[in-house]
């Protein structure tokens, strides 16, 4: 189980890297395609980190929620094929 302190440190590191990348984007040191890629990667990383931050303290309810979704989804997929 990942500790909450580690996730906070990871979130602070991501925020620092994101801010430095935003400075580079503002100074126009990057191309447009690089800018879009960086924004997508940082957004996905932040969302994953926030999910971990929420999911760690409430581990069992999260697992129950995933089980409730995955069973009907697998049955629906079996019916489709």
Task: Give CA–CA dist 11/53, Å, rounded.
Answer: 9
* In the chain, where the domains are located: 4-80
Q: What is the pLDDT of residue 50?
A: 73
Low-confidence ranges of the chain (pLDDT < 50): 1
pLDDT of residue 60: 57
Q: What is the pLDDT of residue 47?
A: 76
pLDDT at 24: 77
Note the pLDDT of residue 8.
75
Q: Quick one: tokens of 24?
A: 């580079």
Asked if 53 contacts 4 with a C-beta cutoff of 8 angstroms, the reply is yes
CA distances from 72 to 61, 63, 77 (A): 18, 15, 9
pLDDT one-digit tens code per residue, 41-54: 877 777 777 776 66
């Amino acid at each position: 189980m990942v500790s909450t302190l580690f996730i906070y440190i990871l979130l602070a590191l991501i925020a620092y890297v994101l801010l430095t990348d935003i400075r580079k984007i503002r100074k126009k040191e990057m191309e447009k395609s690089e800018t879009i890629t960086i924004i997508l990667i940082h957004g996905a990383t932040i969302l994953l980190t926030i999910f971990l931050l929420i999911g760690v303290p409430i581990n069992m309810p999260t697992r129950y929620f995933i089980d409730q979704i995955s069973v009907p989804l697998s049955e629906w997929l079996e019916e489709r094929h």
